[in-house]
Structure 1
Amino acid sequence: MAELLGIVCLILISALFAMSEISIAAARKIKLKIMMDEGHHGAEQVLKLQAQPGAFFAMIQIALNAIAILGGILGEQAITESVSYYISLFYQGPLLGQVSFVISFVIITSLFILFADLLPKRIAMIMPEAVGVRVVGLMNAVTIAFKPMVLFFNGVTNLLLKLFGLPTERKDEVTTEEIVAMMDAGAKSGSLQAQEYQLIGNVLELECRTLPMAMTTRESIVFLDIDDDSSVISQKILGNPHNQFLVCDGHLDKLIGFVDTKQILKQLLRGEAIHLNEQIIEKEIFYLPETLTLSEALNAFKSASEQFAVVVNEYALTVGLVTIKDLMSSFMGDLVTFYDEEQIVQRDNESWLVDGATPIVDLCRVIDWQEPPEANQYETVAGFLIYRLKRLPKRADHIICNGFKFEAIDIKGVRVEQLLVSRVNGGAAEL
């Protein structure tokens, strides 16, 4: 009976060490930091142990191996005689001792595998943080108690790791891929709402998107010419109610400055004809290079405290105009909808009308399409069509790629204004 009680105690102790090993190794750093902020002292201890786990794992292995050896010794003494007695009722041959030993070994090993290994490790894997914060104090105390042996084995392990050129400490670096994986898991489990999932995804894409994906392109910019008369200026303002207008001398590459529509309104309220004089023209224009990412552009706007910027290329030519509203829309997505700027309109379950200037990543998200081939060669849906055709498209030109048909349905000059994107049967040949 004493030996049986000893085996039960050894199984329980081994289960405790197995749970401790898995829970502390599997505990998520982010969740531990949240628990630490909520006042869980054990969470801070687990984080410290994860940062320098060498001594802890050395202690665990020492303890588990010692328990396994003691379990074998006690197991043989505890049940081999009983097993031999029951087998002798059916068999009394020369192999009785060996058969009894093998059966005793299988029974003891099975008990340890099930109750000292598999079951506690499964529990620790299911809730690693909860288990970790409860056992970390006891594990630290045991590590101190076994300190001489721990220092020896941990030192030898560190020496071997250095000889093989491997790190001796754990480095936690959260990558974008890991964040995306956590987002996907949260969205599937329902803990992350669809709007939250979309918003976080858009924010992560700010480093991948460049200004041309959010700006108003050159041909769409409405500007005032310094020589425009009062009636022309009035028509432009009435047709395009913006807060500011660029002022140019003939074309966009000869910018003079910009004017606030409030200044023009003051002239009208005084009964004067609209006149673009130096008193109302602000000549300090905020410029941004087209190579900036949206994240860099947001930081630039924050530093400059401006509402809009003129986007220029490497030849100092104006290629577009971007506002704070444009940048906000780029990552707010459908959470803030500007109906006059809707770029993707769903016709039915299988087709969409898409503005040519729509970023390809936005279309991929809407139609649930994997990343298109060679995505670094273009930014917009129109750019994708041109790249695949290897020429400027004409009306009704189309391509088929990865189960979708892209057809140009509205062309103005060399600009693809609108495309029809539709899902096609798997048998359609790709172009």
Structure 2
Amino acid sequence: MSLFQNIIVIIALITCAGFLSLSEIALAGARKIKLKLLDEAGDERAGRVLRLQENSADFFAASQIGLNAIAILGGILGEAAFRPYLVQLVERYYTGAWAQTIGFTLSFTLVTSLFILFADLMPKRMAMIAPERIAISVIKPIGVFITICKPLAWLINAFANLIFRLLKINTTRDDNITFDDISAIVDAGAQAGVLQQQEHHFIENVFELEERTVPSSMTTRENVVYFTLKESEHSIRQKIAEYPYSKFLVCNEQIDQVIGYVDTKDILVKIMNNQSFIQLNESTIRNVLIIPDSLTLSELLDRFRATKEKIAVVMNEYALVVGVITLSDIMITVMGDWVSPMEEEQQIIKRDENSWLIEGTTPIEDIKHALNIEDFPEWENYETIAGFMMYRLRKIPRPADFVEHEGFKFEVVDIDHYKIDQLLVTKMPVQLNQEQDQDQ
């Protein structure tokens, strides 16, 4: 064949190899979620791609047969086509014994470079740009190619499967989507600008419902306002007027003797109808949901949904009330400062760029968000920053006790009856230097 004919054949081989490379990456990289959406929208080609992904052995075997055959044939034709001309070019400047070898090396390099650039690198990069769109475009011709190569592909796969069994390698692909996968998708969406900052914040908080336990969002025992059975009408009126709550616990004599709860709406209806009540009774007291403090917020949401309740009393393993939690508390956890900015400002007060005043009852998750801390050690052993301090210090803290973690110094500044009331958190010099280096 003439040089022109050889060039035409090589171009055709490069085109075929490029098509196989493009198809291989597109079919392997096409995301199942998008393909399922396209299939449900009526594009039957997406369904064929999904079926091919589930049984991809035949395709990969056929693809490798085609790519290797084309590469070998292209090398043979390219070397025969270009070597004489390159040898002549070399002999214009060098006529020694190495002229033939140099010409062969140049022709080999030229053909290999053409195949790498146009049959491998560029098609694969193109396939990664829009794998789903390309996959559904090439699925029909690829199906024909697989059918042609199926006998040889079956034989190659049989040998491959035998080797995998001998080596005890599991070739089953795990396509289950994990929490980490979803979290990574959300982070990628936020970085790409698909999700707004507040949307990203909400989704992250929803994910945390699976990990955060009830005590991280409840109203603690010492802050619970409740009525007793013998509470006077004047006292009840005063508490309703003073505290902006819609529901109050009713206890026998102390908080650990919970009987139920009252809805202020029921009491206000009586007041508006000029009905006087001397004490709480069965007509106003409702049954209250009792839950253990080991439940996660996600599990509590299921309980609320099943019981149609919106308030629950949290008890520990000793049957002592440790707090109260409502559906609104869970919503505040999800919405953050979009719902209760005043509350968060009271718990975490930023004094300047490098220091914060933080209440001891502040949940660890809120500390992580406010200070941009990745994690706390063995966080399952505590819920609040006060718990973290006690866990690390291994004692009841005193003022001026401190703990260092992730470039921050956590120092106790106020104690109220052995309870950590406030901490001063400051960035340590090493952390400051690292942030300055990143800014530069």
Tell me the alpha carbon deviations over residues 20-73 of structure 1, each in whole angstroms, 9 at most, x when there is no partner. 112222222333334444544433322222222100100000001110121122
Determine if contact 2:27/2:135 at 8 Å carries over to the other structure. Answer: yes
Which of residues 418, 422, 430 is equivalent to 1:418?
A: 422
CA separation in 2, counterparts of 1:65 and 1:21?
14
AA in 1 matched with 2:281: E
CA separation in 1, counterparts of 2:431 and 2:143?
64
Q: Partner of 1:380 in structure 2?
A: 384
1:362-377 aligned within 5 A: 362-377=366-381
Q: Partner of 1:187 in structure 2?
A: 190
- In 2 relative to 1, CA 73–397 (structure 1 residues): closer, same or farther, beyond 3 Å? closer
**SS of equivalent to 1:426:** helix
Structure 2 regions of 5+ residues with no counterpart?
A: 433-440
Determine if contact 2:39/2:46 at 8 Å carries over to the other structure. Answer: yes
232-241 or 269-278, which deviates more = 269-278
247-256 or 263-272, which deviates more = 263-272
Structure 1 regions of 5+ residues with no counterpart?
A: none
CA separation in 1, counterparts of 2:188 and 2:273?
62
Tell me the alpha carbon deviations over residues 363-386 of structure 1, each in whole angstroms, 9 at most, x when there is no partner. 111111221223222111111122
Which of residues 161, 166, 176 is equivalent to 1:163?
A: 166
| 2:217 is aligned with 1:214 | yes
AA in 2 matched with 1:346: K
TM-score of the aligned structures, taking structure 1 as reference length: 0.92
CA separation in 2, counterparts of 1:427 and 1:158?
53
Tell me the alpha carbon deviations over residues 184-218 of structure 1, each in whole angstroms, 9 at most, x when there is no partner. 33222322221121111111111111000011111
**SS of equivalent to 1:120:** helix
300-309 or 347-356, which deviates more = 347-356
- In 2 relative to 1, CA 427–64 (structure 1 residues): closer, same or farther, beyond 3 Å? closer
34-43 or 73-82, which deviates more = 34-43
Determine if contact 1:229/1:274 at 8 Å carries over to the other structure. Answer: no
Shift of 1:283: 4.7
CA separation in 2, counterparts of 1:377 and 1:244?
31
- In 2 relative to 1, CA 397–94 (structure 1 residues): closer, same or farther, beyond 3 Å? closer
Q: Partner of 1:353 in structure 2?
A: 357
Determine if contact 2:78/2:108 at 8 Å carries over to the other structure. Answer: yes
Q: Partner of 1:259 in structure 2?
A: 262
Determine if contact 1:388/1:399 at 8 Å carries over to the other structure. Answer: yes
AA in 2 matched with 1:351: S
AA in 1 matched with 2:351: R
Identity percentage over the alignment?
43
CA separation in 1, counterparts of 2:32 and 2:431?
48
Which of residues 92, 97, 100 is equivalent to 1:97?
A: 100
AA in 2 matched with 1:362: D
1:24-103 aligned within 5 A: 24-103=27-106
- In 2 relative to 1, CA 127–280 (structure 1 residues): closer, same or farther, beyond 3 Å? same
CA separation in 1, counterparts of 2:413 and 2:402?
9
Determine if contact 2:337/2:344 at 8 Å carries over to the other structure. Answer: no
Determine if contact 1:257/1:282 at 8 Å carries over to the other structure. Answer: yes
Tell me the alpha carbon deviations over residues 1-37 of structure 1, each in whole angstroms, 9 at most, x when there is no partner. 2111101100111111111112222222333334444
Determine if contact 1:347/1:353 at 8 Å carries over to the other structure. Answer: yes
Determine if contact 1:287/1:312 at 8 Å carries over to the other structure. Answer: yes
CA separation in 1, counterparts of 2:56 and 2:5?
36
AA in 2 matched with 1:149: L
**SS of equivalent to 1:421:** strand
AA in 2 matched with 1:76: E
Q: Partner of 1:151 in structure 2?
A: 154
Shift of 1:96: 4.0
1-10 or 152-161, which deviates more = 152-161
Q: Partner of 1:301 in structure 2?
A: 304
244-253 or 254-263, which deviates more = 254-263
336-345 or 301-310, which deviates more = 336-345
1:212-291 aligned within 5 A: 212-291=215-294
Determine if contact 2:230/2:280 at 8 Å carries over to the other structure. Answer: no
Q: Partner of 1:197 in structure 2?
A: 200
Tell me the alpha carbon deviations over residues 195-244 of structure 1, each in whole angstroms, 9 at most, x when there is no partner. 12111111111111100001111111111011121222222221113222
Tell me the alpha carbon deviations over residues 51-107 of structure 1, each in whole angstroms, 9 at most, x when there is no partner. 221001000000011101211221133222222333333444444433332322221
Instruction: Report the RMSD for the aligned CA atoms in angstroms.
Output: 2.2
CA separation in 2, counterparts of 1:393 and 1:147?
73
CA separation in 2, counterparts of 1:31 and 1:267?
58
CA separation in 2, counterparts of 1:122 and 1:259?
65
TM-score of the aligned structures, taking structure 2 as reference length: 0.90
Tell me the alpha carbon deviations over residues 347-397 of structure 1, each in whole angstroms, 9 at most, x when there is no partner. 322222322221112111111122122322211111112222222223444
CA separation in 2, counterparts of 1:116 and 1:235?
82
